Amino acid sequence: MAAVALKEQLASLMDSMYQEGLLDEQFQQLQSLQDETNPCFVMEVVTLFCDDAERIFGELDKIMNQPVIEFQQVDAYIHQLKGSSSSVGAQNVKLACIQFRHSLEDNDREGCLRALNVVKREYLHLRSKLETMLQLEQRIQAYDKQKN
């Protein structure tokens, strides 16, 4: 019975994530690749995405705190984050990266700092929801193992 409730909770969370625009159809594609032979596929991809995003934010913080900003470097990191966001279906993060790249066209430090804060905020909101999703999936998998 608890597993059913957890699955309903997970389904509700996923619905809300799609409705908020946090995820798009690419995330559904990732989920479709997960099966019995690789039950942790989505968890692994999400973890890699988050680790990569954290690394990129660390690099961007260093660059943005320099007296002279290398805007090309910033663009390269934002492009990388946009690509990984697209590949996991992190729609709002991807859109925030696109907006960031528009700020970069003007080589505007303040605009870039504001854009970076927007990207970080979108990412942190998504990460929080993804962490909840992964916790629910782990609990469901634990119940399923107990049944078998």
pLDDT tens digits, residue range 65-80? 999 999 999 999 999 9
Cβ neighbours around 12 below 10 Å, total: 11
| Residue 1 in this model has a pLDDT that exceeds 60 | no
SS3 40: coil
Q: Which domains does the chain have, with CATH numbers?
A: 2-147 (1.20.120.160)
SS3 83: helix
Q: What is the pTM of this model?
A: 0.92
pLDDT tens, position by position, 22-40: 999 999 999 999 888 888 8
Closest to 74 in 3D by CA, of 125, 51, 108: 108
Give pLDDT, residue 101.
92
pLDDT band at 145 (very low <50, low <70, confident <90, very high): confident
pLDDT band at 55 (very low <50, low <70, confident <90, very high): very high
83-111 CB burial, b ≥16 within 10 A, e <16:
ebbbebbbbbbbbbbeebbebbeeeeeeb
Cβ neighbours around 143 below 10 Å, total: 16
